[in-house]
Structure 1
Amino acid sequence: MKVLIITYYWPPAGGSGVQRWLKFVKYFRDFGIEPVVYTVENPNYPIIDSSLINDIPEGIETLKQPIWEPNSMLSFFGKKKTESAGFLNPNPSFFGKILQYIRANYFIPDARRFWVKPSVKFLKKYLLDNKIDAIITTGPPHSMHLIGLRLKKQLNIKWIADFRDPWTEIDYFHQLPLSKRAIKKHHILEQEVLKNADKVLVVGNTMKENYSKFSNNVVTITNGFDGKISNLEVKLDAKFTITHIGLMNADRNPKMLWEVLAEISSENNQFKSDFELHLIGKVDATVVNDISKFKIKNNVHLINYIEHNQVVEYQKKSQVLLLLLNDVPSSKGIITGKIFEYLMAKRPILAIAPLNGDLADVINNTNSGTVVDFKNRVLLKKTILDLYSKYQQGNLRIDSKNVEQFHRKELTKKVAQIIKQIIE
């Protein structure tokens, strides 16, 4: 069976957005699925990771078409002219506010919408000339789903819409300066996609619950990890390292954590000497400023983006892995992709997130760490001191379970079964 995957993010794109379908493509042939990938010829990726090219199986057909992106004119995510909503400028200039308003209200669902019409024209001809059993769109950017929607209506081809993140429930949606008309349009388009897709894939159960109001065909396929879980002893960091991987924006700035770490450091000189915080990835200026304000700057190591294979090594040797969710209305349904990479590392996870959220369910079901609510300062301090005590005793480890279910190959098997069901 042959499927066409429509995605904006594809190697050499780096970051979490590219991982999900790259790994599905990597394992599809093991389950009788031959993938064809359609992506952009001239992408504007905020992060590049050429090492991910090695995961693309030999001989995969890749179709590319150019895209026009207005971000050079409408960028409001900081200095870089890339669309990375995680770095939505919280204090724009007057001109920046105007650009934010234009972007939010006239480029719906996103600035990649100009790729929809030429892509439909190109792919319609390709699909008529080639045997493809189903198409798959993955977003964000959610304009990819509009390509699938039009092809579905014009050719009545089987279509799977995959949501790596929600559309109107995404963590920064409430920050956008949207008019009532624009909000309504977002909801209409989102619901049209949900109602017309033959199957809707989501990454968490809260998303499934929300989307099931509009579709009876919603299935949860989480993100996962790729590689082997080694039982070999790893040489851990000598210091009491707490490591965070990935973007840390203004919404994800855990001021409570900085305050607690500063307080413990002032009360315990040995902790202050032993403790190191590793922040690997892009860190917003507001985070750096707060770290300085709480006077723990000397214990913090900022490491810009590094290739994925190096990230894995950092995770394995860290004493504790830090996981932060944005303290936003939709946080209950957020499952950041890094949780599954953390599981592979077999190190204790400290998460600041809702206790009744999808992320907490994963951590609790795998016995892989501790979840502390956004406001529970007392429990956060106690948890860190407990972890440090075990570090001092030389027995800081975790006995996690049920982890293999999140291996990318196991997840691909489930996706392949879904594809075969809708085709047959």
Structure 2
Amino acid sequence: MKKVLIITYYWPPAGGPGVQRWLKFVKYLRGFEVEPVVYVPENPSYPIIDETFVKEIPEGIRIIKKKIFEPYAIAGIFSKKDTETISSGIIQKEEKQSSLQKAMLYIRGNFFIPDARKFWIKPSVKFLKDEIERGAYDAIITTGPPHSLHLIGLQLKEDLNIKWIADFRDPWTQIGYHDKLKLSEGSRRKHEELEKRVLNSADHIITTSFTTQEEFYAKTSKPITVITNGYDSEIEYKNSFNSKFKIAHIGSLLSGRNPETLWKALQQLKQEHEDFDKLFELELAGKVSEEVLRSIKNYGLEENLNNKGYISHSKALQMQRDASVLLLIEIDSQETRGIIPGKLFEYLASGRPILAIGPDKWDAEKIISKTEAGKVYSYQDITEIKTYILSLFQKYMNKEDMVFSHDLDQYHRKSLTGKLANLIKQV
């Protein structure tokens, strides 16, 4: 059996999609003759907590912990709200940023390179060198963001020449919010240099999207494999005819993801169809920016809004199955074409139709189209969005079959873990 050390920042009780990827890999790796050991911070500063994930940690898995110095904990003394939103990636447009927010972003981008968890690198390398030499590991895996964890892997690779796999859940220098960090030219070069060193030192690179794979191929000749996120529940195709026509979004809605085209389409449908006005409900679960909430109000949708805030993962799964339509929203920019939200795969397993709005040539569109799980539109397609929503509403009114999606086995967490295990054995 192979033995692998997984170095990750996000681990239960952390909530959100970042923790699920490696929690699920760890859940299934033993079934593929790979023994995982997990290294995590002892005192992390997680923006979201979900205690239900703790129950999913497999029995007997060894978890190694070491303390981390967290600048976000200090920043929270001055502004807890700004600290939580910035650490979650919710960054307002520059003209709407306070002086404190601008200062925090500048410090985050230029003094904490590659990120605010950089202070965990040196103590982790020192600690893990002894652990690896004693533990007879076949490989190490680092997963980011935070991309500072890849620098732990880089140093361990250079010092021990151990096999190293670098998993990128999101891009590094080409992630959507990178340009909002108010980087100096020197800081920008430093990010690019560190990214290049990681990409050219790892034995194998994993990405979660096809676009990120293509972008990295322009920067390295090292092998790159796409292993997407996935779902871990039973596929449920039962119809759920609720008293309300629920259009639901689960997860953070950042200011940059504010789909005003959708709000306008819903406003027009309310005005044009009395039944829609009475039966439509907009359900949101997760962090939602103030700008998005203002837009919903300005388009006259406030009375239809059910804003639940953050809910546990188990409740999120139930909410997906109770919805009439599931919303998938991504920022409209070239930098976000490679973002495939983790919730897409759980949306697929729910069997509910998906309404997706995002950038042109979006990687998520390939998956939605291939599985016939719904429709994908640009931010300009108001007429098409209206038509699609109305067609689904008519099905709802007629109690017709609204089950979508097929060929989903490839996205089950167990299948994806099999792909990872083969890579570990070959590296």
TM-score (norm 2): 0.96
Which residue of structure 1 lines up, in the alignment, with residue 50 of structure 2? 49
**How far does residue 85 in structure 1 lie from its aligned partner after superposition?**
4.1
Aligned residue runs from structure 1 range 234-253, under 5 A:
234-253=239-258
Say whether the 8 Å CA contact 2:239–2:401 is kept in structure 1: no
Would the alpha carbon gap of residues 399 and 302 (structure 1) be closer, same or farther in structure 2, given more than 3 Å must change? closer
2:83 maps to a residue whose letter is K
After superposition, the C-alpha distances for 1:206-256 in whole angstroms (9 at most, x for unaligned) are 11111112133110000000021134x353322111000000010111111
| 1:417 lines up with 2:422 in the alignment | yes
Which residue of structure 1 lines up, in the alignment, with residue 8 of structure 2? 7
- State the alpha-carbon separation in 1 of the partners of residues 260 and 108 from structure 2: 30
**More off after superposition, 378-387 vs 129-138:** 378-387
Which residue of structure 1 lines up, in the alignment, with residue 318 of structure 2? 313
Q: Provide the aligned C-alpha RMSD in A.
A: 1.5
Say whether the 8 Å CA contact 1:85–1:172 is kept in structure 2: no
Of the candidates 88, 91, 105, which is equivalent to residue 88 of structure 1? 91
Aligned residue runs from structure 1 range 15-414, under 5 A:
15-74=16-75, 79=81, 81-82=83-84, 84-90=87-93, 91-213=96-218, 214-231=220-237, 233-414=238-419
**How far does residue 331 in structure 1 lie from its aligned partner after superposition?**
2.1
Q: How much identity, in percent, do the aligned residues show?
A: 48
Would the alpha carbon gap of residues 391 and 357 (structure 1) be closer, same or farther in structure 2, given more than 3 Å must change? same
SS at the partner of 1:34? strand
Aligned length, in residue pairs: 421
Say whether the 8 Å CA contact 1:140–1:165 is kept in structure 2: yes
- State the alpha-carbon separation in 1 of the partners of residues 100 and 322 from structure 2: 46
SS at the partner of 1:171? coil
- State the alpha-carbon separation in 2 of the partners of residues 252 and 78 from structure 1: 23
**More off after superposition, 102-111 vs 92-101:** 92-101
Say whether the 8 Å CA contact 1:249–1:284 is kept in structure 2: yes
SS at the partner of 1:384? helix
- State the alpha-carbon separation in 1 of the partners of residues 127 and 213 from structure 2: 32
- State the alpha-carbon separation in 2 of the partners of residues 375 and 167 from structure 1: 28
- State the alpha-carbon separation in 2 of the partners of residues 63 and 129 from structure 1: 14
**How far does residue 130 in structure 1 lie from its aligned partner after superposition?**
1.4
- Extract unaligned runs of 5+ from structure 2: none
**How far does residue 89 in structure 1 lie from its aligned partner after superposition?**
4.2
**How far does residue 17 in structure 1 lie from its aligned partner after superposition?**
0.5
TM-score (norm 1): 0.96
